[in-house]
Amino acid sequence: MVKIKICGITRIEDIFFIEKYPVDYLGFILYPPSPRFVGGNLKNLLSHVKRAMRVVVMVNPTYEEAKKVLDQGADFIQLHGDENLELGRKLGLDRIIKAFRVKDFINFEQLTLWKGAHAILLDTFKKGVPGGTGQTFNWELATDVVKKGFKVFLAGGLNPENLEEAIRKVRPYGIDISSGVEKSPGIKDPEKIEKIFQILEKSH
């Protein structure tokens, strides 16, 4: 069964609501330019997650910054910048989700370096934006990555309308949804969340 990761959580009430459903991962953004940046509220938010795996999204953190987040209760760090493998190894590759922004081809050499990570995440490339574009990319590219044996989270513009097709075409390890289940940045929409889980139930 495909894993579900809901990202860009900023409110405790959204954690409570989402955890009524069989969500596997919850994501929190620790990147100041993001409209979903949780800042000093991270530890408090992480402490309210009871069931899902806690993922904290960071862009080019230092080892000390990332280690502090793990010490605060994160299960995984999602590296969304140009981090090197050395950082991943130092933190523990099994605690890393490495994000790659996809334009019009996949650099398998780069991906292979991170094969020891918990998973890789494929998101849409947009110049100057490390992630959270709300736009899809060519899923054929993601399908190639899955076929080559990579454990893939599919991200980028997923919503209740295209979710079923995405799962059917790509067959990823997991799907990552953020803006597709929001009322506004960082504020989740209960109706869209419910719809996502209805679709997932139906597609298995």
H-helix segments, 40-122: 42-47, 63-71, 85-91, 108-113
| Residue type at position 140 | E
Cα separation, 18 vs 40, whole angstroms: 22
Contact 156, 136 (CB under 8 A): yes
In angstroms, the Cα distances linking 18 to 90, 107, 151 are 32, 35, 24
* Among 24, 82, 104, 123, the one annotated catalytic: 123
Cβ-based burial of 21 (10 A; exposed 0-12, middle 13-18, buried ≥19): middle
Considering the candidates 7, 82, 94, 104, report the single residue annotated as catalytic: 7
Distance from chain centroid for Cα 108: 20
Q: How wide is the angle at C-alpha 164 spanned by C-alphas 163 and 169, nearest 5°?
A: 100
- Could you confirm whether 24 is annotated as catalytic? no
Catalytic site includes residue 123: yes
Q: Which residues are catalytic?
A: 7, 123
